[in-house]
Structure 1
Amino acid sequence: MGSNNSQNLRDEEIKELMDETEFSKQQITRLYSRFLSLDKKGQGYLSRDDFLNVPELGVNPLGDRIIDAFFTVAETNGDKKDQQLNFRQFVRILAHFQPTSRVKKNSLNSRRDKLFFAFKMYDLNKNNYITREEFKVILNSMVGANITTDQLEKIADRTIEEADKDRDGKISFEEFCGAMEKTDIEEKMSIRFLN
């Protein structure tokens, strides 16, 4: 899908993306414009640096983790090539953030898909587990100087203790899903995409 900014999406590409992601034609067209604006070099893909230029991610304390999760989820889906995302990958990842009210059976924005994206934000070393130390790093980036080191330690200990059902000292994806059972992840991880 394009190696330069002047290339337009073909109708068949739009149709495929609509079927895969449940985005409307207008939404895909808008996302393509956004993609092109981020692809400053006109190479047809986005790198981590391109994402760092998104103002909302730049001011978000978890911005780097969100960006990393984009690439990790793409890799998990077999899509990752040299730390770059093409337009199709970009749209597929953003589909995780659609509200779930219109979810189809094969949708990319199911509760489980949203939880997987969130889990990957915490799994810093990408070993499919969240350790106490990883949790502390994320918690510290979220609250920073607002809590003491002792409070941070206690929150990390309590979280791991409550979520770690098999008592192996780390949280698996299934344990993470269980711990998030009462969390309205569908609402927290949804962006209203304009039509």
Structure 2
Amino acid sequence: QSSKLGQLTVTDRRFANDSIEEDFELATVCCRPDSLEKMLEQTKFTKTELQILYRSFKNECPTGLVNEETFKLIYSHFFPHGDSSAYAHLLFEAFDKHKNGAVNFEDFVAGLSIILRGTVTDRLCWAFSLYDLNKDGCITKEEMNDIMKSIYDLMGKYTYPCMKDSAPREHVESFFQKMDRNNDGVVTMEEFLESCQKDEAIMESMQMLDHVI
């Protein structure tokens, strides 16, 4: 058993410092991440950033895996005045690359790398995939309405100025008026990319994500 404990510690030490206390914590990890070198190649994070992210991930998820309920619980802490469960569900599905109901550290940093360090096109494609709920290559008004409702639920009722109940539907209509270039009732990836790249406010908000960590 001590030999097995040592193997776990050696593998995980790449993502943490060398304290004895942390070694024992890491020994409880069930799903260990790939090598640091591999993740340095696959993401746009530095070694130090990956180590910081891993410590935070491990503190919240000692087993090395996050299920949807845990993900929702973590996300609710950031939005205590609203109902974040619906939006957290959408985000969880976006991070769950293997569609097995669990997000490991590699899934987490892969998605985060795109959101924070990806090119504009990378980020927009990721957002489009998030909005395309049934993954058929286009966004319908029904899908966008579900997304907008989840975002307004996330923000809560105690916003200033107070939002009208019709606000999500009005937002959807505005979205389609801007994005649906050929007026066929759906927004394709091409329409989405073209419209977003011409929108100065969207481009500025994406630039603000650069080097957040």
Same fold (TM > 0.5): yes
SS at structure 1 position matched to 2:182: coil
1:135-159 Cα offsets, whole Å, 9 max, x none, are 222223334661243x544442342
- Alignment of structure 1 residues 17-32 onto 2, 5 Å: 17-32=39-54
Match of 1:52 in 2: 72
With normalisation by structure 2, the TM-score equals 0.66
Mapped to 2, the partners of 1:96 and 1:65 lie a distance apart of 19
Are the counterparts in 2 of residues 17 and 88 from structure 1 also a CA contact under 8 Å?
A: yes
SS at structure 2 position matched to 1:171: strand
Shift of 1:81: 4.6
Match of 2:60 in 1: 38
Match of 2:93 in 1: 71
Are the counterparts in 2 of residues 39 and 45 from structure 1 also a CA contact under 8 Å?
A: yes
* Alignment RMSD (CA, Å): 3.1
1:60-109 Cα offsets, whole Å, 9 max, x none, are 7666435534533553xxxx0512222222211111232x4xxxxxxxx1
Match of 2:142 in 1: 133
The size of the alignment, in residue pairs, is 174
For the pair 1:8 / 2:12, whether they are aligned, the reply is yes
Which of the pair has more CA radius of gyration?
2
Identity %: 21
Given candidates 176, 191, 213, the residue that maps to 1:175 is 191
Residues 49 and 130 from structure 1, CA distance in 2 versus in 1: closer, same or farther, beyond 3 angstroms?
Answer: same
SS at structure 1 position matched to 2:78: helix
What are the ranges of 5 or more consecutive residues in structure 2 without an aligned counterpart?
Answer: 1-7, 16-33, 158-162
Q: 2:132 is matched by which residue type in structure 1?
A: D
The one of the two structures with greater contact order (alpha-carbon pairs below 8 A, sep at least 6) is 1
Match of 1:114 in 2: 123
1:42-69 Cα offsets, whole Å, 9 max, x none, are 2x32221221232226667666435534
SS at structure 2 position matched to 1:134: helix
Mapped to 2, the partners of 1:92 and 1:84 lie a distance apart of 14
With normalisation by structure 1, the TM-score equals 0.71
